[in-house]
Structures are given as C-alpha cells and as structure tokens.
Amino acid sequence: MNLNYFPVVRAGSEYISVILQEEFVANHKSAEKRNRQSQVRRLRNRTISTRMKNIIKDVDAAIATGSQEDAQAALKIAIPVIAKTASKGTIHKKNASRKVSRLTKRVNKMQLSA
C-alpha cells in the first residue's frame, strides 16, 4: 500500500484529508482495498458520531442551565442529527430512538417541574 495515498473524506461541509496508515500487512490486492475502505469509513463514522455527541452535550447543557426555551431549541436541533446518524449506519436505529426518547423525556420533565 502506498503511504502517500491521500483520500478525501467529506464530513458535513468540510473536506478532511488524511494519510491512511497500514493496520496490517495485506497479502492480496482485495485485502489492501478493504483496508483502505474500512479506514475511510472509520473516519466518516467518527466525524458523524462526534457531531452527534456534541449536539447531545448542547442539550444537556441547556437542561443544566434550566432554560426551557433553550432546551427545546437544542432538542429540536438534536433530533434530526441523531436520526441522520442512524440513517448513515453509524449507530443502530433503535439506539437513535432510545437517545431521542431519553432526551425528550428529560426536557419534558424539566418543563413539568417548572
């Protein structure tokens, strides 16, 4: 495998160039290709997953401040991001559903206590 191989991975509106490193020594051409593909997919999944986690942290922060309007707005932004993460296959659809459910439950609980 050529270590000067620079794939471009699209993450949101940004383009990320990375140098792929060999994880193992491939014995076949198809194994080299599979290695390249898995590394590119790993980077793509990582960026999508990180974005989702940051959005969830924003909802948690809004809940911690106690602002109902901010929490509702953050939840409204978070739900499509979580759904998109599941549609890309980065997380399972039931995992996404559980995350949305728990966040919604926490925001609604905050509104009832106010």
Answer yes or no: is 2 within a domain: no
Is 56 within the bounds of a domain?
Answer: yes
| CATH number assigned to the domain comprising residue 35 | 1.20.58.110
Percent of the chain with pLDDT strictly greater than 90: 67
Residue 3 lies in a domain: no
pLDDT in tens, 49-74: 999 999 999 999 999 999 999 999 99
In a domain, 109, yes or no: yes
pLDDT for 4-24, tens place per residue?
445 555 655 455 555 555 556
In a domain, 1, yes or no: no
Section 97-109 average pLDDT: 96
User: What gap in Å lies between CA 10 and CA 8, rounded to an integer?
Assistant: 6
Q: How many domains are there within the chain?
A: 1
Dmax of the chain from CA atoms? 63
Structural domain for 99, as ranges: 8-113
Cα-based distances in Å from 8 to 55, 76, 90, 112: 24, 31, 19, 47
